Structure 1
Amino acid sequence: MSELRFDQVSVRYGHRHTGLTAVDRVSLTVPSGQVVGLVGESGSGKSTLARTAVGLSPVSGGRVLLDGTDVRRQARRNRPVQMVLQDPSSSLDPRMTIGESIAEAMPRGAFLRRAARNVEVCRLLELVNLGSDRAGMLPGRLSGGQRQRVALSRALAGRPKVVIADEITSALDVSVQGAVLNLCRDLQRELRLSMLFVSHNLAVVRHMSDLIAVMYLGRIVEVGPTEAVVTDPRHPYTRDLVDAAPSRTGNLLADEVAATADVEPPDPHNPPTGCRYHPRCPIGPAMRSDRQICVTTDPIESAGERPHGAACHFAGSPALPDRARA
């Protein structure tokens, strides 16, 4: 087991004045042997942050540390951080057999004999509940759920200490999503892996994670134990995500949310001053003119002093409406 830590990580694309800061000074820890769910709407920077851990996104500032060592100093082929991508159709080479794809991901020098590699391929396929007879097939002959299992076995072939799972069920049919999620959670526990699980679906993140981190417009706005964040969210954006998640009683939105639901999301190239959520916030200056501090002062600077590290000047305020939850 290993700890993965993002230390003030920033990712910026483009030129100084016209570029986009996709991730802005994010600090987040994935504790050893635990699952951290990273949740947020599309475009929040979740996948970009996750990809920095495996070298797929350039780090403009800060560091990504594995047990205190910068991951960029480690050889990519033998790097103990592996990633399962969103779409298995694009992550597997259609011209390579399943067995060849899995063997390619094995650490260099681990299995010098072909027979030993074949045995390991069969073991990895069985680990994800696929028969060893699939090794000779091409990806195109498998279903989407089966291809995602192959992608998972390919990640495990690298003998990782940390696995990054990026929206691994969003391209799958609803009928197979649960089976893949349960398999992923079982393997994490059995192999004692640390995992960063990325999703826009709060219900899925709640099922998978020990801790939840909520990301909005390139920043972490709340983080804490899963049930604490889901049942007692301290940031208004987290509350909106909770309200939007399916529950036994339906999706119950408070009047404040309905009043600001039509507000256009801000331009990530030019984020709002102060709190980045304030133009859409149901308890911010859009609804209460006396709360101009949300426009003038960035709450991220003092987030560590608030419950769940919430980047909100009024985190836990009595003004936050109580809402029904699952």
Structure 2
Amino acid sequence: MSELRFEDVTIRYGSRRRGMTAADRINLVVPDGSIVGLVGESGSGKSTLARAAVGLTPVSNGRILLDGQPLAQRTGRRRPVQMVFQNPYSSLDPRMTIGDSIAEAIPKGTGSTKRHQEVARLLELVELDSSRSDAYPTHLSGGQRQRVALARALAARPEVVIADEITSALDVSIQGTVLNLVRDLQRELGMSMLFISHNLAVVRYVASTIAVMYLGQIVEYGPATQVLSDPQHPYTRDLLAAIPGTEVGLNSGAAGIVPVAIAAAEPGDPHTPPTGCRYHPRCPVGPLVDADREICRTTEPDHRHRHAAACHFAVADVLTPSGTTPLSEDLTS
């Protein structure tokens, strides 16, 4: 496996006058042999970044590098970055057996006997019986289809795998099984993976590093244990607060002011994002609460704080005060 690096990557859709910037000057590294979790709410630009990495979406500015070499300059038929898509019910061709779907991704030049053996090996690697190779996707559950999608991605012998919300379409009862498989594959194969999700608890279970994305920008980045136990950006705190059983304290003024101000606030428009800090129209520690913090409206923050948090007033409050429950390490319990 290899290192995937995004350098000042900007991705725009539409025309200059009526277009939208889905990813804005993204700098992100997926180190060799590690899993980086990319988290954020719907519309933050996570999937756009993933599609750019596999060549499905053009990059407007910046570079995507694999081991220091631009992906656009990589030669050969094999795609070094492979993607597992969100919906297991639409990512497989219903007219092909799962064996044929996996075999289709195996590099050209592999003989038929070795191809058959490789399909069997990959099915067993994702904990499916090799005898299921003749089955059609309609004969499989959602969790089994997602395992097949993982096997097909690995069949191409990629250097980096991108998993885009691979558990969000699955029942809660089988999400843990797929996540355990991802962790086992990472340990066994040393996979480099960008794991995308809107669920911080899911990302925490598989990733060693977390990047938080909001309105096309990375607002916090750092080791998973540190980001989740000592979040610096208010948006990260709000994502954590949305997890049942987790409470996040914020030093944000008089009691009652924050709930009223935030409830009336509108999320930023991705077509015309707010000036300054993009989170300030919803921020519980910004100008909605403290009028002296006008800098949040006018000046874009840098990433100088702990965990590269892009916030003018990054602070460290207690994540799990007495009587609350921290994020679980085991989603299968």
When normalised by structure 1's length, the TM-score is 0.93
CA distance in 2, matches of 1:147, 1:76: 29
Partner of 2:253: none
Q: Does the 8 A contact of 2:84 with 2:153 survive in 1?
A: yes
Q: CA deviation at 1:263?
A: 2.0
Partner of 1:316: 315
Partner of 2:84: 84
CA distance in 2, matches of 1:289, 1:67: 46
Distance 1:69 1:17, change over 3 A: same
Q: CA deviation at 1:90?
A: 1.2
Which of the residues 122, 126, 129 maps onto 2:127?
129
Q: CA deviation at 1:258?
A: 3.1
Q: CA deviation at 1:262?
A: 4.4
CA distance in 2, matches of 1:236, 1:208: 23
Paired amino acid for 1:37: G
Paired amino acid for 1:264: E
Q: CA deviation at 1:316?
A: 2.2
CA distance in 1, matches of 2:289, 2:213: 23
Q: Does the 8 A contact of 1:106 with 1:157 survive in 2?
A: yes
Paired amino acid for 2:305: R
- Percent identity, please: 64
Q: Secondary structure at the match of 1:51?
A: helix
CA distance in 2, matches of 1:48, 1:181: 23
Note the alpha carbon deviations across 1:246-284, whole angstroms, 9 max, x for none. Answer: 33xx55676666341442211110100000000100010
Partner of 1:15: 15
Pair 1:297-2:299 in alignment: yes
Partner of 1:50: 50
Distance 1:222 1:195, change over 3 A: same
Partner of 2:283: 281
CA distance in 2, matches of 1:76, 1:258: 55
CA distance in 2, matches of 1:256, 1:231: 26
Q: How does 1:22-33 map to 2 (within 5 A)?
A: 22-33=22-33
Paired amino acid for 1:8: D
**Which shifted more, 149-158 or 259-268?**
259-268
Pair 1:306-2:327 in alignment: no
Distance 1:239 1:257, change over 3 A: farther
Paired amino acid for 1:283: V
Pair 1:188-2:189 in alignment: no
Paired amino acid for 1:310: A
Q: Secondary structure at the match of 2:37?
A: strand
Note the alpha carbon deviations across 1:16-40, whole angstroms, 9 max, x for none. Answer: 1111100001000011111100000
CA distance in 2, matches of 1:137, 1:322: 47
Q: Secondary structure at the match of 2:220?
A: strand
Q: CA deviation at 1:136?
A: 0.8
Q: Secondary structure at the match of 1:58?
A: coil
Q: CA deviation at 1:164?
A: 0.4
Q: Does the 8 A contact of 1:77 with 1:105 survive in 2?
A: no
Q: CA deviation at 1:150?
A: 0.2
Q: How does 1:210-249 map to 2 (within 5 A)?
A: 210-247=208-245
Which of the residues 199, 202, 214 maps onto 1:201?
199
Paired amino acid for 2:275: T
Distance 1:313 1:175, change over 3 A: same
CA distance in 2, matches of 1:188, 1:273: 40
Partner of 1:69: 69
Distance 1:15 1:199, change over 3 A: same
CA distance in 1, matches of 2:101, 2:195: 23
CA distance in 1, matches of 2:236, 2:144: 33
> Which segments of 5 or more consecutive residues in structure 2 lack a partner in the other structure?
251-255, 327-333
Distance 1:231 1:289, change over 3 A: same
Distance 1:2 1:256, change over 3 A: farther
Which of the residues 175, 178, 182 maps onto 1:177?
175
Q: Secondary structure at the match of 1:228?
A: helix
CA distance in 2, matches of 1:215, 1:190: 29
When normalised by structure 2's length, the TM-score is 0.91
Distance 1:77 1:143, change over 3 A: farther
CA distance in 2, matches of 1:288, 1:5: 37
Aligned length: 317
Distance 1:270 1:214, change over 3 A: same
Note the alpha carbon deviations across 1:75-120, whole angstroms, 9 max, x for none. Answer: 57412211110011111111111111001111122x1x21111111
Q: Does the 8 A contact of 1:256 with 1:283 survive in 2?
A: no
